[in-house]
């Protein structure tokens, strides 16, 4: 089993990889599903599966009062990741320091990388993309669905064109889904245009309201958790979510969108 504690320890001749990124504490069913998919793709294309995890847990740095108790040590987590399909594990430190793109971007440009995956949100991502483009790199940029908002596009300006974002919900224009149609009508009533991030928030609110209803009367934190973990095949409106004591995946849906020249998210 290969465990690397910094990027400097990653072999220069590692070759093409399939990378999965997350904290992966406990390596639950949702994590194993992601690793299984990465393993299948890697075997088909002759890639090495690398799992990237963090120490300490990001919440322990960002909001320590809400940091979850660790279920596994880093060593045990790495072994579970390998048992679930990873060939190697990269453990990276997590801190609040703003990325120093003046140091990060030049090696990417020099290596002529074809794609850069940005795990983050807000200015931590937009600032980096701007520096990358200013340095002359045309690498494909991919980032997460939490950046799928009009504010993200506005902050990037012309550099937003062609950026790919992962999506965990259908297109915000897919009115064949009752959930999307309902959210679109509510947004229109408020004079707003539905965005992917708004759709995610709307779905999350529906799940929370349903959990509170099931935990009533006199809902408590324990009752709310129990209600959520018993929520099996709850229909949000064309999208079904399910939870269990050992499975907090909820919705098994993944897609990609790309920002067009008009600033719209296209599928």
CA–CA distances in Å: residue 38 to residues 19, 34, 85, 183, 251? 8, 6, 8, 33, 18
Write out pLDDT tens, residues 196-217.
Answer: 889 989 999 999 999 999 999 9
Bridge partners, 257 (sequence order): 165
Write out pLDDT tens, residues 70-106.
Answer: 888 999 999 999 999 999 999 988 877 778 898 889 9
Alpha helices in the chain (DSSP H): 29-45, 58-62, 74-83, 101-110, 123-134, 150-156, 178-189, 196-215, 221-229
Which candidate, 240, 190, 185, 187, places its Cα nearest to that of 210?
240
Residue ranges and CATH numbers for the domains of the chain are 2-92 (3.40.50.620), 101-168+254-266 (3.40.50.2300), 178-248 (no CATH)
Which pTM does this prediction carry?
Answer: 0.66
Quick one: which H or E segment has residue 256?
strand 255-259
Confidence at 146, pLDDT banded by 50, 70, 90: confident
pLDDT of 150 above 90: no
Confidence at 181, pLDDT banded by 50, 70, 90: very high
């Amino acid at each position: 089993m290969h465990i690397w504690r910094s990027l400097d320890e990653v072999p220069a001749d590692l070759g093409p990889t399939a990378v999965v990124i997350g904290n992966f504490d406990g390596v639950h069913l949702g994590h194993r599903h992601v690793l299984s998919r990465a393993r299948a793709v890697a075997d088909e294309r002759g890639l090495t599966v690398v799992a990237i995890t963090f120490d300490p847990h990001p919440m322990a740095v960002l909001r320590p009062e809400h940091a979850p108790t660790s279920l596994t040590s880093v060593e045990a987590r790495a072994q579970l990741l390998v048992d679930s399909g990873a060939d190697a594990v990269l453990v990276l430190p997590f801190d609040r320091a703003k990325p120093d793109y003046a140091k990060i971007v030049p090696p990417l440009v020099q290596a002529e990388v074809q794609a850069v995956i940005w795990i983050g949100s807000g200015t931590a991502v937009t600032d980096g993309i701007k520096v990358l483009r200013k340095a002359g790199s045309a690498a494909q940029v991919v980032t997460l669905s939490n950046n799928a908002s009009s504010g993200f596009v506005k902050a990037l300006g012309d550099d937003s064109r062609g950026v790919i974002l992962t999506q965990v919900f259908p297109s915000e224009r897919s009115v064949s889904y009752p959930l999307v149609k309902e959210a679109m009508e509510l947004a229109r009533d408020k004079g707003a245009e539905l965005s992917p991030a708004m759709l995610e928030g709307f779905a999350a609110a529906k799940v929370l309201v349903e959990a509170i209803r099931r935990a009533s009367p006199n809902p408590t934190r324990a009752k709310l958790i129990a209600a959520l973990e018993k929520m099996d095949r709850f229909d949000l409106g064309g999208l079904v979510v399910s939870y269990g004591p050992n499975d907090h995946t909820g919705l098994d849906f993944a897609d990609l969108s790309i920002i067009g020249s008009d600033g719209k998210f296209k599928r």
